[in-house]
Amino acid sequence: RSSDLIGAVIFSRFARPKPKLAHSAEALVAPYKDGWSLQIRVANRRSTLLSEVEARLLLVMAEVETDAGHLSYYTLPLQFDRVSFLPLSWTVVHHVNAESPLAGMSRADLQARRAEMILTIKGVEEVYMQTVISRMSYRWDEIVWGGRFIRSFSAKDGTMHLDLDRISEHTLLEAPEHLPS
């Protein structure tokens, strides 16, 4: 019937999927390979698959030497900026090296410059096959200086299980006062 077709078209036009991403309450300055990194953990809360997932991490800091009202923006390179799909959790990692805007910075530097990290996750939701976007933000005081995420998934009966209540859990570690430069 034409009324069923019209109803389906209207539903598909206005029924948009919404991303339901869990994310760690804090970002971590954590060990990585031979140095340090900034890490944020995300996971899909939906029962449907999120595929072709992309991450972008933006650092925003106030300029203190010139005009305190002037903000500088930096796109932080990531270990992986895309994954094919998000089956469990994904720890988004920015390796702090000599080219990083965070190189040589301390927690006090982040505070003085009112640093904020903005993570944008974009992916395709499998049921509607539409792009969904989610953003999360971490101010300087939401960054743990020296930590390591605790595994939030386990294997039971040959199946992987993700515990979303543990997505933010981490242990504290001793970290250098200043990130390497």
Residue of higher predicted confidence among 92 and 16: 92
Arithmetic mean of pLDDT over the chain:
89
pTM of the predicted protein model = 0.86
Q: Can you spell out the DSSP letters for 116-167?
A: EEEEEEEEEETTTTEEEEEEEEEEGGGEEESEEEPP-EEEETTEEEE-GGGT
75: left (phi over 0), alpha (psi -120 to 50) or beta: beta
pLDDT of 14: 53
pLDDT digits (tens, 9 = 90+) for 13-49: 555 556 589 999 999 999 999 999 999 999 998 878 8
Highest mean pLDDT among 12-16, 63-67, 174-178: 174-178
pLDDT of 162: 85
DSSP 8-state code for residue 102: T
Residue written as token pair 């002037």: 70
Count of residues in the chain = 181
Q: At residue 83, does pLDDT exceed 90?
A: yes
User: Is the Cβ–Cβ distance between 86 and 160 less than 8 Å?
Assistant: no
What is the rounded distance in angstroms from the CA atom of residue 181 to the CA atom of residue 175? 14
Where residue 8 falls among pLDDT bands split at 50, 70, 90?
A: low
pLDDT digits (tens, 9 = 90+) for 105-130: 999 999 999 999 999 999 998 888 88
Nearest C-alpha neighbor of 122 from the set 135, 140, 105: 135
